[in-house]
Amino acid sequence: MTKPEPISCTLTFSHTFSCPANVLFDVWTSHQHFVHWWPDEQAYMYVCESVLAPQGNVLFQQVAPEGYDVWETLTYHEVKEPESITYTKSFSSPEGEALVLPWMSSFPLEVWHKVTFQEESSATILTIEEAPYRATEAENQTFWFLREAISTVLTNKMERLEQYVASLPWK
């Protein structure tokens, strides 16, 4: 697998957390923590594979109370603990193969992410950059059309992450 080239146009989102960068990095990358804040509200999450290393994967399933489930795979490309991680994310089969979303076939098969953890005083600024990766023009258009919805999902995820980090005995 080749390392993704830098993406020139990204959706960027930042949130400040009251904890050191190493704590936030661990909570972001460790499946023991990941399952507590990543899934949509009221969904359950099962991690089937978790390897934090270049070309390592996280394969997980989210199951909603209504019974719908979705599989996702993160493929790490660069890991610089505790400064940053770069990965691509895709919806997938239970075996980890990237799949087109059945309810939105024009969504990109892969989305590139760079997450940085910048420590300042007693806080850490987490910045997420996202962009379609190896996408068709139609997939690019769908991604950018959905940018407000993607930002809302990220905002909700950051609120869950903030609550979870606050509940930890890291101090």
DSSP 49-110: EE--STT-EEEEEEE-TTS-EEEEEEEEEEEETTTEEEEEEEEE-TT--B---TT-TTS-SE
Q: What is the pLDDT of residues 84-140, one digit of tens each?
A: 999 999 999 999 999 998 789 999 999 999 999 999 988 999 999 999 999 999 999
Query: pLDDT tier at 7 (50, 70, 90 boundaries)?
Result: low
pLDDT for res 64: 86
Question: What's the token pair of residue 122?
Answer: 């007693």
CA angle 161/45/10 to nearest 5° reads 55
pLDDT for res 88: 96
Q: What residues contact 129, with CB distance under 8 A and at least 6 apart?
A: 7, 10, 11, 12, 112, 113, 114, 115
Domains and CATH numbers, the chain: 11-38+79-90+98-167 (3.30.530.20)
pLDDT for res 90: 96
Burial class (CB in 10 A: 0-12, 13-18, 19+), 32: exposed
Please give the radius of gyration of the chain, using alpha carbons only, rounded to the nearest integer.
Answer: 16
111-137: b (≥16 Cβ within 10 Å) or e: bbbbbbbebeeeebebebbbbbbebee
For residue 153, how many other CB atoms are within 10 A of its CB? Answer: 13
Give the count of alpha carbons within 13 A of 11, CB side only: 22
pLDDT for res 42: 85
Question: What's the token pair of residue 120?
Answer: 């300042």
Query: pLDDT tier at 8 (50, 70, 90 boundaries)?
Result: low
CA pair distance 45, 36, nearest whole angstrom: 8
Q: What is the pLDDT of residues 43-81, one digit of tens each?
A: 899 999 999 999 999 999 999 888 888 999 999 999 999
pLDDT for res 2: 52
Question: What's the token pair of residue 134?
Answer: 């190896």
